[in-house]
Structure 1
Amino acid sequence: MSDLPDLIVIRGRGRVSALGTDAAAYATVSSAPFQTQADGSHSLPVARLPATAETAVATLQRSHPAYRQLDRTVLLALLAARQATADAGWNPEATPSTNQHPITTNHQPALTVSIGSSRGATGRLEQFHADFLADGAVAAAASPLTTLGNVASWVAFDAGSHGGAALSHSSTCSSAFQALGNAVAWLRAGMATRFLAGGTEAPLTDFTLAQMHALGIYSTFPAADWPCRPGAGRPSTFVLGEGAAVFALEKATAASLASERHTNEPIFVLEGVGFGFEAIASKTGLSSDGQHFQQAIRQALHQANRRPADVDAVVLHSPGTPAGDASERVALRAVFGDELPPLLSNKWLLGHTLGASAALSLDFALHVLATKQWPTAPFATDLAQAAPRPIRRILINAAGFGGNAASVLVTQL
């Protein structure tokens, strides 16, 4: 257990992705969960929500009149946050009705919310702009529905928060861990007692797909042939996905957690959140030795008072681009030496969900900690198929355009 006097505990979690909303879906994958989407003259593989999750999103959107106008990015965050609060047992009856503003009950402290998203309300922004180009008119709701702060504020509303802060973060693909780091700082400082933190992204629009394709990194493998292949080398196998993951966080002491160990429920502690930054000339590139990764990993380990040898596995950022994959592995060898911990990834199942990817990677890490199992990739890669020792502590990496990286260390008590 960490030597820090205050421990940050993950009380609940929720997710939605190409595998749906069930955490156990990782154990039942039998075929590539990708679909094909047309982008002008190209047909590209994407990691879109399955039908069951689409039904859940549609039901949520109909549950409140105001929700019918929300962007898909916001709706995915609401869906994941509802799961997280229910999993934590936090005031589930506070979901707002159509005729009453949500009020936090007296016995429940106000929730604080911090949500990361790289692009925010992508679909609504593009639609409002298309409408403007078509007829010169702009809807009155265009601005409030497309600001980045719109994401966290709706999560707070839906969670029944009254008086708690609602913070939105955007730092490209590490946005969710920026939100998580903010949550940890607030909790340890006593500025909040309960926190919902995570990331969300719904970028599967024609324009966003065209942007990703223009970078020259998009996978050429068909949707049914595992098109996203982190750690497989060349060619590039980047695939865009959508999804969200949100976590219910509280501060606790080691003594209070010791009394909970008699239960069968796993106890997850967020031990460290580290950040790394590089001033690089190419805002879409990164250094060959991943200096930002190295800084973020070392900071997370230092914050948790842990050594590299204490890490049992690493969930990679590894987007399936040769340069990005290689840079992260060089950084890992700089920290861990030539004998790396088992390398894991969920992007070959979920695609790259941009601002939600770090949160979904953390959710995957918690699944591995709880079950001691993970699906193995059906293609040649350096991703681990087994671990030499029991996995109790996992490092999770994330990185984004502009030379930023973030690492989280999580352990199961």
Structure 2
Amino acid sequence: MTNAALPTVVIRGWGSASALGLGFGAAPAASPFRPDAHGAGLPVAALPAAAEAALDALRRSRPAYRTLDRSVLLALLTARRATAAAGWSSPGTTEHAAPAALALSIGSSRGATERLEAFHAEYLRTGAAAPAASPLTTLGNVASWVADDLGRARAAISHSSTCSTALQALGNALAWLRAGLAGRFLAGGTEAPLTPFTLAQMRAVGIYSELPAADWPCRPGAGGPSTFVLGEGAAVFALEAVPAGQVQSGDLVLESVGFGFEATGTKTGLTPDGQHFQQAMRQALQLAGLGPADIDLAVLHSPGTRAGDAAERAALAAVFGAELPACASNKWLLGHTLGASGALSLAWALALLRGAPLPPLPFASWLHQHPLRRPLRRVLVNAAGFGGNAACAVVRRVD
């Protein structure tokens, strides 16, 4: 099949859940972060009350859902919203379930963190493991429950590539759709890491923000001490293969996903010039047949860590040079949602392409030096994680 004959992959709808709620409205006037619920006093980006109520209603809607991990419930909630937005099915029903040509790939860096920690605590207390511990904590647990909720699916894939996971799921979807292995695809990422042990792990790495929750504690591009803050959330996208030339004005198109990898001395380290970022961005541009000047906005991974932010800036300079586009990051609003972060960055990019305003940062940052200078038509989205993984997606709005 020639490139000209490849189908176009249109994003028919999406669902998201984060500290900003079920979607992306106006940026809050006050910090959405709050102290963690476990008493450590660390700032976190948790779901607000309305989104929490929706998640609780889903949990209570079916007896089997009452035992599921929070990450799985977030995937179910956002997948339902994505299929409803796409017109593929009604939320929470299987009467109009997506056809057999549908496949799905839902990623998570940590998987069933909440349930795993609870089962482990019970084992330490009693010396016995609960029978449900294994099926409820495997990584495949995520996508399989989403497929079960839909009623039908050709394939259900779960995977983890740390914090580039969700964009890698989108890359998998793009390959399947263009190869004709599926006509429709649900792809995204989910994470519920606001648990005692996960928070302790991130603090032990030495990157956690020391700013109070009310003071916008996650500050991408600010320089100085690291301001990493954990958040929770999910985003899932309903993708459809459309014959070449049949897209319509206003459609949102997933043009490409590029991948990068670098081997470094430690699993938490990265090269100063962000080689994995460079590889992913260059491949995404090449696959889409684009040059640096074609990108209007780059939504950065930029989690507020000194080394990570600096490496991504160096990679952008190497790839774009004088054609550096406007740059932004949403982690000052959502925190770092690990395996879901790329999906939530992409959902934010789509909202911006649909006309949502780009909110100003309430703190000093390198990002201020690269404001939006022209109408948005095409956005590049970065994600990267421990172990040297990186991914980059390019999306555009059809004129």
Query: Is TM more than 0.5 here?
Result: yes
Segments ≥4 residues shifted beyond 6 Å: none
The CA deviation at 1:3 is: 5.7
Q: 1:195, CA displacement in angstroms? A: 0.5
**Separation (CA, whole Å) in 1 of partners of 2:74 and 2:38:** 23
TM-score, with length taken from structure 2: 0.96
Q: Which residue of 1 is the match for residue 78 of structure 2?
A: 80
Taking a change above 3 Å as real, the CA distance of residues 403 and 28 of structure 1, as seen in their structure-2 partners, is closer
Answer whether contact 2:327 2:372 (CA < 8 A) is retained.
Answer: no
Structure-2 change in CA distance of 1:391 and 1:3 (3 Å): farther
Matched, 1:279 2:263: yes
Q: In 2, distance between residues paired with 1:9 and 1:22?
A: 19
Q: Does 1:193 pair with 2:183?
A: yes
Shift in CA distance, 94/228, structure 1 to aligned 2, threshold 3 Å: closer
Question: What secondary structure sits across from 2:202 in the alignment?
Answer: helix
The answer to whether 1:116 aligns with 2:100 is: no
Q: Distance in 1 between matches of 2:316 and 2:62?
A: 46
Which structure 1 segments of 5+ residues have no match? 97-101
Please tell me the residue identity of whatever aligns with 1:197: A
Task: Find out whether 1:12 has 2:2 as its counterpart.
Answer: no
Q: Percent identity?
A: 65
Q: What is the aligned partner in structure 2 of residue 66 from structure 1?
A: 64
Q: Give distance in 1, aligned partners of 2:219 and 2:65.
A: 36
Q: Deviations over 1:212-237 (max 9, x none)?
A: 00011000110010000000001110
Q: Is residue 174 of structure 1 aligned with residue 164 of structure 2? A: yes
Q: Take 2:92 and 2:360, find their aligned partners in 1: how far apart are those partners?
A: 40
Q: Which residue of 2 aligns with 1:411?
A: 396
Counterpart amino acid of 1:15? Answer: S
| Residue 150 of structure 1: aligned partner | 141
**Alpha-carbon distance in structure 1 between the residues aligned to 2:334 and 2:68:** 23
More deviation in 387-396 or 222-231?
387-396
Q: Is the 8 A contact 2:222 2:304 kept in 1?
A: yes
CA separation of 1:85 and 1:276: change in aligned 2, threshold 3 A? same
Alpha-carbon shift at residue 113 of structure 1 (Å):
1.1
Residue 340 (structure 1) shift: 1.7
Structure 1 residue 278, shift from structure 2 partner? 0.6
Matched residues in 2 for 1:313 and 1:206: separation?
36
Between the aligned partners of 1:145 and 1:109, the Cα distance in structure 2 is 26
Cα pair distance change 1:198/1:393, threshold 3 Å = same
- Give the alignment's TM-score, normalised by structure 1: 0.92
Q: Equivalences for 1:276-315 in 2 at 5 Å?
A: 276-315=260-299
Q: How does 1:17-56 map to 2 (within 5 A)?
A: 17-23=18-24, 25=25, 27-37=26-36, 42-56=40-54
Partner Cα distance (1:3, 1:240) in 2: 42
Q: Is the 8 A contact 2:110 2:339 kept in 1?
A: yes
1:256 maps to a residue whose letter is: Q
2:377 maps to which residue? 392
- Tell me the equivalent position of 2:229: 239
- Matched with 2:309 is 325
Partner of residue 99, structure 1: none
**Superposition deviation, residue 160 in structure 1:** 2.1
Asked if 1 retains the 8 angstrom alpha-carbon contact of 2:76 and 2:145, the reply is yes
1:226 and 1:120 map into 2 onto residues whose CA distance is 27
1:94–1:160 Cα contact (<8 Å) kept = no
Is the CA contact 2:84–2:91 (under 8 Å) kept in the aligned structure 1? no
Write the letter of the residue equivalent to 2:217.
P
Deviations 1:331-375 (A, max 9, x none): 000010045211111100000000000000000101111115211
Within 2, Cα distance between the matches of 1:366 and 1:401? 26
C-alpha offsets along residues 270-294 of structure 1, whole Å, 9 cap, x if unaligned? 0010000011111101000000000
Amino acid at match of 2:80: R
Q: Is the 8 A contact 1:245 1:360 kept in 2?
A: yes
TM superposition shift of 1:253: 2.5
* Root-mean-square deviation over aligned CA pairs: 1.7
Q: How many residues are treated as equivalent by the alignment? A: 395
Whether 1:218 aligns to 2:203 is no
Unaligned runs of 5+ in 2: none
Residue deviations 1:244-273 (CA, integer Å, cap 9, x gap): 00000011134321xx33xxxx31100010
Q: For 2:394 and 2:330, how far apart are their aligned partners in 1?
A: 17
